Structure 1
Amino acid sequence: MLDDLYERATAPDQWPEFLAKLMVLFRGETATIRLSDLDNPVIHQSYTTGFRQEINRIYEAEGVECDPFRDALAALPVGKALESTAVIEDRAFERSVHYQSVFRPNGNFYALGTQFERQNGQAMHIGIHRPKQKGPFSNDELKLLELFSPHLRRVVKLSRMMADLNDALSVARHALDRLPFGVWYMDSELRVQWLNASAEEAFATNSFGLKVQYNRLRMLAAGASATLRAMVRRLTEHRSLTETVKLGQTGACLLMVPTCTAGTSLHITRSPAPKILCFLLDTTRPAELDENRLTTMYHLTPAEYRLANLLVTGIDVNEASAVLEISPHTGRTQLKSIMRKTGVRRQASLQRILLLCADTLRSPND
């Protein structure tokens, strides 16, 4: 049961399956998990099993206000279970609106429940119900439900964390999809683990001689795949901080930088392969930076901006100096100044900053 419960953390829409098993364990006919308001008779969300949906809608719309167990559960410590006969006598319950409108139509009489989580004026409540002929819930059943309470609380916390993580990943993916160049993440075996829309498009059309086959990156030109593997080895063996390769005659460039070192975190299995962050820079879809915003954020001089704007295309400082018609010494001096102002110590880190900021720093007229 606990294994099944913790699976709900990643699939909360399957709560009814867990409730069905819990209902059988407690010899019930219906079971519910509800998110309710502590101060007002309002149900924010429900998961049910065995409940007639029409009756559930009545309860959520108006029946909750007449529920004799709601205030009694709220008065108990979190995780403390309560069975219905401790709240109201059988005869009084039979005459109650709650029994007539909710319990009786579902064929139930006795209830067992607990509020296992309270936060920000809301409570999570689990309830199990069964017919009168099965008798009231026993003290042993009450204690058993209390054993589930801390696990239910942890699962809800895990579910929230998973939801927050998925939201963050969705936002990050949306931001990456807006970038005008391809970005993807792969391991040292060239296995692509995620990619943005521009990279997906390039791979689908075999543009720039790049292809993903069986989830691995390939370069189609003769001998290019061996070159690619050699570049990755230099990165993962820490013999290089950044690797670039020109792609055909279009001026496009593949830039790769390492993102982590294997063995820096705890894993039950073997340490994961080092990861590589890749950028596909296409001259037909330039990642030109917005000068006003970049100089405002990092206080770059016009000369430093011009150098940064070339570095974001993937060329090195010597090539950029030649384009700008300045000496390599002047170019390296400006590069050091840019790195100091952006708070990085390595050119690979600077390129990451410029590339990942390229879309947000683009002019709104672009």
Structure 2
Amino acid sequence: MRLSEAKVPQSGLADLIDLIYAAALAEGSTWPEVARHIYTLTGAQQATLILPDANGTKRNVFLEPGTYDERVRHYYRDISPWRVEAGNAIREGTAPVGVVVRGEDIVPDRAFLNSEFYNDYGRHAGFRHMIGGLLNAQTADLVAFTRDAAAGPFEERDRHALQSLMPHMQRALQLRSRLEPDASRLGAGALDALSIAVIVVDGNMRVKHANAAAVALTNGVCGMTVSRTGPDSSLGNTLLSARHPDDHSRLSQLVAAVAKGGSGCALRMRNTRDEPASRASLAVLVSPAMTHFLSGPGTGCRIQPGTAMIVARHLNHSSLPHPGLMCDLYGLTKAEAAVALSFGGGATAEDVARTRCVSPETIRSQVKAILRKTNTSNLRDLERIIAISSAMLPAPL
């Protein structure tokens, strides 16, 4: 006797609902496990729920990856009369959301049995009877359960059992959408925290991502600029170029080479068309872009094909970390942090003393404490620490 032929125990239904939420949030359950429990509940033999996986590729999460020929399955899924009619209703805004229906309520039996889907695929693959519903009209998330001709059509008790699960599946997918980590957003946020300009482009110099420092850099006097190529200035509609024609040629060649698998190179670029090459002060590094910043969770840190990452910074523009950052990192007092930052650019103890209107002895005493707390041996070593710490600055707004 199927579980649905008797009254479903409330405890069993509660356990299944728990599994649905756990699968959606990847916390101790999987969608195939949920499907197996629903098979027991309704007598279904197969299940379909198309969602994007960790790589952003849509697949039937009710099946284990690699358990069927994706190309064949996708072709017939797209021409399924059930799916076609459901898609039409979604576009017309007439599809009921959260309501379980049976296949014969969507497509008359005669039309279904005469379809290419059923005769070439469904008959042999066990897709004769269907029950399911629309979970989300905006994302067109559909859930469906099927069985073969021998098992017979789904009955009202099956529809009722699934209807009790539909609100939980809807809420579980909402939670999945809102709480699932998005590596691309996290990576972009990490890049925006840097004071160094980072721009990711494709092989044709179209901008895929630019952090806050890059936006500030290209909006100012800089050897690189962006121009709009489409009706708006969104990413993908902006093109990166160098102001000097020779620099643009070199940069374009490097980007194209990296997009095709090259390792990249560093170069200096002129800030204006009139600046001599010997005085070029924009340092640029072109290298492969990483999936860590541009793809979804689970992709790992690999090279993003067809893209290049450009890191740029003015050589003659010094940037210093906030005194508070030095206090947090190295345990300096506010006065010690201010003194430490005063040594940038090769200043001496006497120079700092004059600037701060104190005696050189006071500065030397503070320097001893600063060197000890930062574990540096001299002022040049301290400058190195300050330069490294400056990369932790948020980009200017």
- Per the normalisation by structure 1, the TM-score is 0.46
Q: Please, what TM-score do these two structures have when normalized by structure 2?
A: 0.43
